[in-house]
A and B are shown apart, each in its own frame.
Chain A
Amino acid sequence: MSGGTRTLVSPAVLARPRGRAVYWTVFTGTVLLFALAFLFPVYWMVTGALKSPDEVARTPPALVPEHWRTTGYTDAWDLMQLPTHLGNTVVQAAGAWIFQLVLCTAAAYALSRLRPAFGKVILGGILATLMVPTQALVVPKYLTVADLGLLNDPLAIWLPAVANAFNLYLLKRFFDQIPRDVLEAAEIDGAGQLRVLWSVVLPMSRPVLGVVSIFALVAVWQDFLWPLMVFSDTDEQPISVALVQLSQNIPLTVLIAAMVIASVPMVALFLVFQRHIIAGISAGSTKG
């Protein structure tokens, strides 16, 4: 990939001294722009929480905190009950992930391989939900969850998360591509469907399961409107909702520290799996 493909600017131009000078100018400019636009706001947030309340309100602001105080972070942890809210978010995200993995995988496998009667109608109905943007249906969905008595219950996050046509279709398309002989060989060996799914299909599906897992976790962690609606009980609220509810009544430095803490898990997940995540997003464009 490096240097092999020809792009807008020809390699010949880049080889000339003037071309090289322009290239390095543009390169440096882009690095500075990216650092300023994307890294600096994050730096400002992390260091803002280390400043004293006076210092954070001072103009012009200091680039580096005078004294590195960690009280912002410790106060946020204690005063805003971050352990509770982070714990709620973890429970909600992990449950949604497990429910999606189990139920979407089973349903996708059935639609792909087990030829249920009316399978095509069901698949059509599932794909049709892709046309209905989720946010536009939050109110009737809320009423349904309320009728089921699931308000202030993590099930209100877990069960609707399963109705994810995008992930289900991703899994089904992957299962469609598994060669028939592989599955038939297992069936001839006397394995039941559950056994075939568990010990033949799933091990082959690790890449797609990884993608679905990341999508599932990130979606719940980042969501705001839905948990805002279904968790009126403060003790059950995930961190995204709690941050906004509490943002009015706490000192700025403490709020900023809480924002940093709320971002750490997703940013860490991203840094660990960045290759897979970036490759997955890039692949999305070519496969459609």
Chain B
Amino acid sequence: MTKTVERPAEAVRTRPARTPPPARKPARRRLAAQGRAYAFLLGGLLCFALFSWYPAIRAIVIAFQKYTPGADAEWVGTDNFTRVFRDPEFADAWRNTLTFTALALLIGFAVPFVLALVLNELRHAKAFFRVVVYLPVMIPPVVSALLWKWFYDPGAGLANEALRFLHLPTSNWSNGADTALVSLVIVATWATMGGTVLIYLAALQSVPGELYEAAELDGASLPQRVRHVTIPQTRFVILMLMLLQIIATMQVFTEPFVITGGGPENATVTVLYLIYKYAFLYNDFGGACALSVMLLLLLGLFSAGYLRLTRSEGEDA
């Protein structure tokens, strides 16, 4: 960071004419050009400063303060962290969030992966499949959540009707402590997998056909071709989609808030839900920010991995 700060100033001072076109403008014209550039930049810059950079710093500051809107903030050291750690919901929220992320990776990744593999083999109705699989993504998440809440209804819900129709035992779905989290993963998968299918499908189309031909000549069966050709050839996209999915599912909020309200027995309280509760139910902004900082650090790790991955791939191509 510090290096880049010095560079532009240096460029102005010591090598004015290295970049050919603007040969050497008089200082006043250069200043006017800078003024124009900043006039274009100002609005966007202000929004980033107020709503991205400042909140990031503020989260860290308030995490160490007793903060009440309108009153003077008090420094309290690590009190917020210890209080949050002692909250029995803290462990629940992290366990639920991590379980949700793991299940979403298992179900929410395996299903679209297989669907994309199958779709890539089909030569008819291509547009139909693509539109239909993406349709749930365009339905507002709140509507998807309310829709599935109705499906999971223990009385006339469609989910149990389907089980009865198949002569299977019914389930408590989102109303049972054991099944609630899985039920929410199903909703999230249904609502978001369209994007994963489309992106993975595009990646599959870039796998050279000769590789499959060669593998077939070597006597590779269909599962072997998937394992030794398809997966290695699309390794980068698979990894990228997984990281994106982890980042997205660790911030899950709408489904637990709308469908279960965090219950039953805290079985679906997530970290973001807990942050919301600290801020808006307990009016404890210090605790909310302490939690935010923890979530931020963990997610930042995954984001850094994602950016590194996309960057290095961009340079290869």
| A interface residue numbers (CB < 8 A to B) | 1-3, 5-10, 23, 26-27, 30-31, 34-35, 37-39, 41-42, 44-45, 48, 56-61, 102-104, 106-111, 114-122, 124-126, 129-133, 135-148, 159-160, 162-163, 165, 168, 180, 184, 193, 197, 218, 221-222, 224-225, 229, 239-241, 243-244, 247, 252, 255-256, 259, 262-263, 266-267, 269-271, 274, 277-278, 281-288
Q: For the complex of A and B, list the 5 residue pairs with the smallest distance between their C-beta atoms, beginning with the closest.
A: A6-B209, A107-B44, A114-B37, A110-B40, A282-B202
CB-CB < 8 A to A132: which residues of B? 52, 56, 296, 299-300, 303
Pairwise interchain contact B147-A41, C-beta atoms closer than 8 A: yes
The answer to whether B106 has its CB under 8 Å from any CB of chain A is no
Task: Tell me, in angstroms, the Cα distance from A114 to B250 when the chains sit together.
Answer: 39
CB-CB < 8 A to A247: which residues of B? 146, 258
Which of chain B's residues 205-220 have a Cβ closer than 8 Å to chain A?
205-207, 209-210, 212-213, 216
CB-CB < 8 A to B150: which residues of A? 48, 252, 256
Pairwise interchain contact A141-B51, C-beta atoms closer than 8 A: yes
Residue of B nearest to A39 (CB): B132
Task: Tell me, in angstroms, the Cα distance from A146 to B67 when the chains sit together.
Answer: 14
What 7 additional pairs, Cβ within 8 angstroms, besides A140-B292, A281-B199?
A35-B132, A48-B150, A163-B47, A239-B140, A244-B257, A262-B142, A266-B138
B307 → A minimal CB distance (Å): 6
The answer to whether B176 has its CB under 8 Å from any CB of chain A is no
Task: Tell me, in angstroms, the Cα distance from A244 to B141 when the chains sit together.
Answer: 11
Pairwise interchain contact B202-A263, C-beta atoms closer than 8 A: no
CB-CB < 8 A to A9: which residues of B? 121, 222
Pairwise interchain contact A225-B44, C-beta atoms closer than 8 A: no
B43 → A minimal CB distance (Å): 4
Task: Tell me, in angstroms, the Cα distance from A144 to B303 when the chains sit together.
Answer: 24
9 residue pairs A–B, Cβ–Cβ below 8 Å: A103-B44, A111-B41, A119-B37, A132-B56, A133-B250, A144-B51, A168-B44, A259-B147, A282-B201
* Residue from B51, B155, B206 whose CB has the most chain A CB atoms within 10 Å: B51
Residue of A nearest to B213 (CB): A6
Interface string of B179-207 (1 = CB under 8 A from A): 00000000000100001001111111111
Pairwise interchain contact B120-A8, C-beta atoms closer than 8 A: yes
CB-CB < 8 A to A281: which residues of B? 134, 195, 198-199
| B interface residue numbers (CB < 8 A to A) | 1, 4-5, 7-9, 12, 21, 33-34, 36-38, 40-41, 43-45, 47-48, 50-56, 58-59, 62, 67, 69, 117-125, 127-136, 138-143, 146-147, 150-151, 155-156, 158, 161, 164-165, 190, 195, 198-207, 209-210, 212-213, 216, 222, 225-226, 230, 237, 240, 247, 250-251, 253-254, 257-258, 272, 275-276, 279-280, 285, 288-289, 292, 295-296, 299-300, 303-304, 307, 310, 313-314, 317
Pairwise interchain contact A159-B51, C-beta atoms closer than 8 A: yes
A243: contacting residue among B142, B205, B209, CB under 8 A: B142
Pairwise interchain contact A285-B44, C-beta atoms closer than 8 A: no
Residue of B nearest to A59 (CB): B156
A102: contacting residue among B43, B139, B202, B299, CB under 8 A: B43
Pairwise interchain contact B1-A124, C-beta atoms closer than 8 A: yes
Task: Tell me, in angstroms, the Cα distance from A138 to B280 when the chains sit together.
Answer: 12
Pairwise interchain contact B213-A10, C-beta atoms closer than 8 A: yes
CB-CB < 8 A to B285: which residues of A? 139, 143
Task: Tell me, in angstroms, the Cα distance from A243 to B41 when the chains sit together.
Answer: 38
| With A132-B303, A133-B303, A144-B58 as contacts: A60 and B146 at CB distance below 8 Å | no
